[in-house]
Amino acid sequence: MKKRRAWSKVIEESGISVRLYEREPGGVIYRDVWNGDARDRKSLCHADRKLAEQQARELARRLSDLRHAGHTGAVTFGQLVGLYRLHRLPLLSPVRQRAVRGMLALLERHFPADRVVDELGQPDIDAYVAARRSGAIVSPRHRTGETGVRDGTIRNEVHLLMSIVAWGQTHRVSGRRLLTVNPLHGATLPREKNAKRPIATEARYRKLLEVADRAERTGRFRLVLTLARETGRRINAICKLSVRDLLLSRDQLVTALGAAGLPLQWAEQWPHGAILWRAANDKKGYESIAPLSAAARGALDAYLARYPMAGDVPLIPGRGKPDQSVKKEMAGYWLSRAETLAKLPKLARGGYHPFRRMWASERRHLPAQDVAAAGGWRSLEVMRHAYQHADAAGMMSVVDNPRNAPEPEPTRHTIGTAKQESAQ
């Protein structure tokens, strides 16, 4: 039998040659670029030959543009974004990629492709913020009122711009840094003063649970709602769960903990099992394992008893599509229908996220590191600032307790006795 040979190909575009090759047949593809007196070799992190050829041609065109522009001082916005799309964007999680593509489209509508990056500054950010607030630049994904889009959304877009520029400082072309300075370092970003972050309540959850089977008859919404309440995870991560992500037996849990490099003893302390939250379904691209509560395990057992399944199949399939996970938009429709049936008022900027805030706020008294790990936060500051809310009883105890506490006795020391005590 003839041995299969590893694939290789040379792509020539705009005077630049890019060599593509596999180290083993059918394996990950690498690219090798010779530009001037330096060689740049890198893995493409995939085995798709057509995609590799497309990326090689795009890279060659960008390198040609940079060669003619003299990239040490004249990198344009279009060149920077093009290289970012080619090298950095594919490394992000699919969820994050979709969000970044939408924000990049808005930035490219405002900033000319031939604008020199080194000349960007605070006035450019202010102009972009003003354009977004006024509605001169509108995203089809967001509804805008008379005052335009919220400052929090604009802040995310400007932050992406700043992160792309920072990435340009670390990326090398022919051994040299793409950008030698960061012209946006220290720039001021817009900040939303009165952000709307609604939080759900236990009473609201119970009323929604009462009408869950009327809102969606197969039990999928009941499971989604329970997991949102009991795990504190984002709705997209819940919808994308696979049956193989459920670690319901001790053997499954021990195997997953070992593969993640976590202590195997945790399996003894998690009697209800756990869930493997995969990086591909996480907004930030992180993978984690978190234990299940008794209520979450009960909901999963009831659902799996009704719909026995195993392996790499969607836990919550779409309607008529057992091989595809339900879309978060459909889960949102179920929630909206349940709110109507339960005669509950809509929460401004609500959806499932109020349950995530509720979950975090209920655990303010617990160690922040444990809460963040169980709920999927990487930043303690973000969790505390945006998710853990004050409650009425806690605020009342703050303002009322000092008045009810006994007053301290007045200090009777004179200056002389105080000096004597300090001397002792």
Q: Residue 324 maps to which CATH number?
A: 1.10.443.10
Domain-embedded: residue 144: no
Domain-embedded: residue 287: yes
- Check if the beta carbon of residue 22 is closer than 8 Å to that of residue 7: yes
Domain-embedded: residue 318: yes
Report in angstroms the alpha-carbon separations of 405 from 143, 349, 397, 399, 400: 50, 40, 11, 11, 9
Domain-embedded: residue 422: no
- Residue 157 CB partners (closer than 8 Å, separation 6+): 103, 106, 107, 128, 132
Domain-embedded: residue 256: yes
Domain-embedded: residue 224: yes
pLDDT of residue 232: 93
- Check if the beta carbon of residue 335 is closer than 8 Å to that of residue 225: yes
Q: How far apart are CA 200 and CA 99, in angstroms?
A: 26
> Residue 196: how many CB atoms within 10 A of its CB?
11
Domain-embedded: residue 123: no
Domain-embedded: residue 67: no
Q: Number of structural domains, the chain?
A: 2
Q: Which of these three, 9, 24, 59, is where a domain ends?
A: 59
| Nearest CA among 184, 182, 304 for reference residue 246 | 304
Tens digit of pLDDT at every position of the chain (424 positions): 556 788 888 888 766 788 899 888 888 888 887 655 556 777 888 888 888 888 888 887 777 766 655 444 578 898 899 889 888 888 887 878 888 999 999 999 999 988 999 899 999 999 999 999 888 888 876 554 444 688 888 999 999 999 999 999 998 876 778 888 899 988 888 887 766 788 999 999 999 999 999 999 999 999 999 999 999 999 999 999 999 999 999 999 999 999 999 999 999 999 999 999 998 888 878 899 999 999 999 999 999 999 999 999 999 999 878 889 999 999 999 999 999 999 999 887 789 999 999 999 999 889 999 999 999 988 888 888 778 887 777 777 778 766 555 555 554 444 344 334 444 3
Query: Token pair of 363, please?
Result: 């655990």
Q: Which of these three, 37, 59, 81, is where a domain ends?
A: 59
- Check if the beta carbon of residue 93 is closer than 8 Å to that of residue 279: yes
Range of the domain at 328: 202-393
How many Cα atoms sit within 13 Å of 57 on the Cβ side? Answer: 5
pLDDT of residue 91: 84
